[in-house]
Amino acid sequence: MRFISHAADLPTPTEFDWIANGLAFGGDYNPEQWPEEVWLEDMALMREAGVTTVSLGVFAWGLLEVADGVFEWDWLDRVMDLLAEHGIGAALATPTAAPPMWLMLAHPEIAPVTAEGVRHAPGGRLGWHPSSAVFRRFALRMVRAIAERYRDHPALRLWHVSNELGNENARSYDDETAEAWRRWLAERYGDIDAVNAAWGTAFWGHRYTGFEQVLPPRFSSTGANPGLLLDFERFTSDALLAHYEAERAVLREVTPTIPITTNFMVQREPGVADYARWAREVDLVANDHYTVGADPRRHAELAFSADRVRGMAGGRPWLLIEHAAAAVNWQRVNRAKTPGELRRNSLAHIARGADGAMFFQWRQSTAGAEQHHSAMLPHAGADSTIFRDVVRLGADLAALAPIRGSVVPTARVAILFDHDSAAALRSGRKPTELLTILDLPHAVHRLLTERGIAVDVLPGDAELDDYAVVVVPTQLLAPAGLAERLAAVVDRGGHVVVSFASGLVDETNRVIPGGYPGAFLALLGIRADEILPLLEGERLAIAPSGTASIWSERVELVDAEAVATIADGPLAGRPAATRRRVGDGTATYLAVRADDETLGALLADVLALAGVEPIADAEPGLEVVRRVGESGRFLFAINHADAPRAVRASGVDLLTGQRHDGTVSVPAGAVVVIEESA
Residue 78's Cβ-count burial label (10 Å; 0-12, 13-18, 19+) is middle
Instruction: Give the integer Cα–Cα distance in Å for 624 and 613.
Output: 13
* Residues sharing a CB contact under 8 Å with residue 388, sequence separation 6 or more, in sequence order: none
What does the chain come to in residues?
678
Task: Check: CB of residue 589 under 8 Å from CB of residue 524.
Answer: yes
Q: Is 232 helix (H, G, I), strand (E, B) or coil?
A: helix
Catalytic residue among 301, 322, 341, 553: 322
Alpha helices in 295-384 (DSSP H): 298-312, 341-351
Q: Of 361, 358, 366, 357, nearest to 376 (Cα)?
A: 361
Q: How many Cβ atoms from other residues are within 10 Å of residue 280's Cβ?
A: 10
- Do the Cβ atoms of 189 and 198 come closer than 8 Å? yes
Torsion, Cα 293 161 60 142, to 10 degrees, reads -160
Residue 439 DSSP SS3: helix
Give the 3-state secondary structure of residue 255: coil
**Half-sphere exposure in the Cβ direction for 282 (13 Å, CA):** 28
Q: Are strands 585-590 and 575-582 parallel, antiparallel or unpaired?
A: antiparallel
Q: Does residue 463 have an active-site annotation? A: no
15 is catalytic: no
CA dihedral 588, 592, 595, 601 (to 10 degrees): -20
Nearest to 289 by CA among 336, 376, 349, 332: 349
Q: To 10 degrees, the CA torsion angle through 269, 195, 246, 421?
A: 20
Q: Computed over its alpha carbons, how large is the radius of gyration of the chain?
A: 26
Whether residue 359 contacts residue 324, with contact meaning beta carbons closer than 8 Å, is answered with: yes
Element (H, E) at 40: helix 37-49
Helix (H) or strand (E) segment spanning residue 196: helix 192-199
Sign of the CA dihedral with 168 first, then 174, 179, and 185 last? positive
Report how far residue 348's alpha carbon sits from residue 638's, in angstroms, rounded to the nearest whole number: 7
Could you tell me where the beta strands, DSSP code E, fall in 189-332? 260-261, 263-264, 286-288, 318-322
Shortest CA distance to 358 belongs to which of 166, 82, 88? 88
Question: CA-CA distances (angstroms) from residue 661 to 8, 452, 587?
Answer: 42, 20, 41
Distance of CA 208 to the CA centre of its chain: 37
Tell me which residue of 566, 570, 616 sits closest to 592, measured CA to CA.
Answer: 566
Yes or no: say if 472 and 502 are a contact pair by the CB < 8 Å rule: yes
Which one from 65, 164, 341, 675 is the annotated catalytic residue? 164
Q: How far is Cα 240 from Cα 341, in angstroms, rounded to an integer? A: 34
Q: Catalytic residue positions?
A: 164, 322
